[in-house]
Structure 1
Amino acid sequence: MKETLKLFKIGGGVLDDDAQLHRFVQAFAQVPGRKILVHGGGKGASQMLSDLGIAPQMVQGRRITDAATLDVVTMFYAGKTNKQLVALLQASGVNALGLSGADGNVIRAVKRPVKDIDYGFVGDLPANSVDAATLHTLIQAELTPVLCAITHDGHGQLLNTNADTIASTVARALAGRYEVELHYCFEKNGVLLDVNDDNSVIPQIVPAQYQQLKADGVIAAGMIPKLDNAFAALEAGVEKVVIEHALNINEPIKTVLCRS
C-alpha cells in the first residue's frame, strides 16, 4: 500500500501578509506525514520591480518575463520568499529544503514558444519534466521540499513557471509512488455556490457535477482554469484534490474533488 503524500500550494494572499504566513506555517507544521510545499511569489516581486523602475507587465493574469524581470523574480521567488518560508518552517519543527527547479534538476521546463504574445522567459512543463526519483529520495530522507516558481531548461537558462502548474505537475509525477493529495490553498473556504457567501462551500465535486455547475454559471471566471487543472490531475492518477482556505488546512471546511 502506498504512503500518502500531501502537496500544498500557496500564493500571494498568504505570502503578502506576515501574520497570515506565520499562521499558515504553524498549520502546515501540524499536518502529519509526508508533504511538499509549492509557493508563488505574491505582490512583493511586482513591488520590487516598481522600486527598481521596471514596469511589471501582465497579460490575462500572467507575467511577461523579460530578462530584467527574470532577474528580479528569481531573487524574490527563489531567494527571499523561498528562504523566508524555509526559515519559518524550521522554526516550526519542519525540516524543510528550499528548491528551484534547477536544484537537483528536479523540474526542467521549456521556454514558451512565441505565438500571439511573447511571454519572454516563461517556462512550460512538458511530460517527464519532474524528477520524481530525486524528490522521492528527499522525502524518504524526512525532508520537506519547498518548491518555488523558478525552473530551468537544462541549458543554463532559468525560467519563470506558473506555481499552480508546478503543483499539479509534481503531484502527477509522484502519483506512481504515493497516494497524492493536492491541496490548492487560497483566500476562500473552498468552491462556493455563491461567491458572496463564504459559508456556501460545496463539500465535494465529481466530474459530471462540475460540468453541470459550469453550465449553470455557478463556477465561472478564474476558478475554471484552476478546477480544469485539478480534474486533469485526478485523471492522471492524483488521489484527490482539495480546495481550501490557506489558514484552515486542518479544519473540515473545504471542497474535495474526486474522480467519482
Structure 2
Amino acid sequence: MKPAVSILKIGGGLIEDPKRLNTLVQAFANLKGLKVLVHGGGKLATQLAQQLDIPTQMVEGRRITDNDTLNIITMAYAGWANKTIVSKLQAEACNALGLSGADGNSITAVKRPSLPIDYGFVGDITSVNISFINMLLDNGITPVFCALTHDANGQLLNTNADTIASEIAIALSETHAVQLYYCFDKPGVLQDVNNPESVITHITKNTYNQLLEAGIVADGMIPKLHNCFHALERGVDTVSIGDEQMITHKNNLYTLLTLT
C-alpha cells in the first residue's frame, strides 16, 4: 500500500486574514501523515507594489511580471508570506521548511513564450525534483513552497501556485496516495457566485464541461479546475476545493472532483 500524502494549496485571500490563516495552519499541522503546503500571495504582491508605486499590469486575470514586478513577487511570496506560514507551522509543532523552486533545484521551468501575450518572467514547469521532496518528507520535514520556480540558469520565474501544487501532486502520485486540496476564501465551486451556500459538492469531467458551457465556471475558476482534472488524469487520488473548513472537517460543504 502506498503511503499517504496531503498537498494543500492556499490562496492569497486566506494568507491576508490572520484568524483564518491560523485556523488553516492548525488544521494542516494536525493532518495525519506526510504533507506539503503550496501558497500564492498575489494580493500581498499587489499591495506591496502599490506602496512602492510600481504599477500592476493584468491581462485576462494574469499578472504581467516585468523585472520590477518579479522583485516585488519575490519579496512578497518567498519572504513575508512564506516565512509567516513557516513560523506559524513551527508554533504548531510542524517542522516546516520554506522553499522556492530554486531551493534544492526542486522545481524548474521555462519562461513562457512572448506570443501571443508577453507575460514577462512567468514560468511553465518542466520538472519536479521528486527525490529532493521525498528526502525532506522522509526526514520529517514539511515543505512549504511559494509560487516561484527557476530556469536552472539563474533566473527566477513567477509560476501559478495552483499549477505548482498540481505538478508536485502528480510527481508524488507515482509512489504515494495523494490527496490534493485547493483551499481559498470560498466554501467550494459555487452555482451562484453571490450565494456562498450554493456549493456544487461533486464535479466530474463531464459535468465540468457542462458548467463551462453554461458559464457557471468562469474567470479564475477555469484554470483552477483545469489543474484539478490534469492532476486526476495523471494519477492523483483525490482533489477537493473549499475553504479552511474543508481541512478542519467541521462540515462537509466543499467540492469533490472526480473523473467520473
Q: In 2, distance between residues paired with 1:215 and 1:118? A: 28
Query: Equivalent residues in 2 for 1:170-181 (5 A)?
Result: 170-181=168-179
Higher deviation after alignment, 207-216 or 38-47 = 207-216
Question: Where does the alignment leave 5 or more consecutive residues of structure 1 unmatched?
Answer: none
Partner of 1:250: 248
TM-score (norm 1): 0.94
In structure 2, relative to structure 1, the CA distance for the partners of 1:212 and 1:138 (3 Å cut) is: same
State whether residues 61 and 219 of structure 2, in contact with CA within 8 Å, keep that contact through their aligned partners in structure 1: no
Aligned with residue 230 of structure 2, among 210, 232, 252:
232
Query: Equivalent residues in 2 for 1:44-55 (5 A)?
Result: 44-55=44-55
Question: Where does the alignment leave 5 or more consecutive residues of structure 2 unmatched?
Answer: none
Partner of 1:93: 93
Q: CA offsets, 1:58-116, max 9 Å, x none? A: 11121111111111211221111111110000001111011000100000111111103
Q: In 1, distance between residues paired with 2:130 and 2:153? A: 20
1:250 deviates by 2.2
- Structural RMSD (CA): 1.5
Q: In 1, distance between residues paired with 2:44 and 2:140? A: 31
One-letter amino acid matched to 2:184: F
Q: In 2, distance between residues paired with 1:201 and 1:56? A: 32
1:157 deviates by 0.9
One-letter amino acid matched to 1:34: L
Q: CA offsets, 1:175-194, max 9 Å, x none? A: 10111111111122112233
Aligned with residue 158 of structure 1, among 138, 156, 159:
156
Partner of 2:185: 187
Q: In 1, distance between residues paired with 2:70 and 2:193? A: 35
Higher deviation after alignment, 140-149 or 243-252 = 243-252
One-letter amino acid matched to 1:175: S
State whether residues 6 and 36 of structure 1, in contact with CA within 8 Å, keep that contact through their aligned partners in structure 2: yes
1:224 deviates by 2.3
In structure 2, relative to structure 1, the CA distance for the partners of 1:113 and 1:181 (3 Å cut) is: same
Partner of 1:102: 102
Partner of 1:8: 8
State whether residues 11 and 185 of structure 2, in contact with CA within 8 Å, keep that contact through their aligned partners in structure 1: no
- Identical residues among aligned pairs (%): 54
TM-score (norm 2): 0.94
1:258 deviates by 1.4
State whether residues 20 and 247 of structure 1, in contact with CA within 8 Å, keep that contact through their aligned partners in structure 2: no
Q: CA offsets, 1:109-140, max 9 Å, x none? A: 111111032211111113xx101111011111
State whether residues 25 and 88 of structure 2, in contact with CA within 8 Å, keep that contact through their aligned partners in structure 1: yes
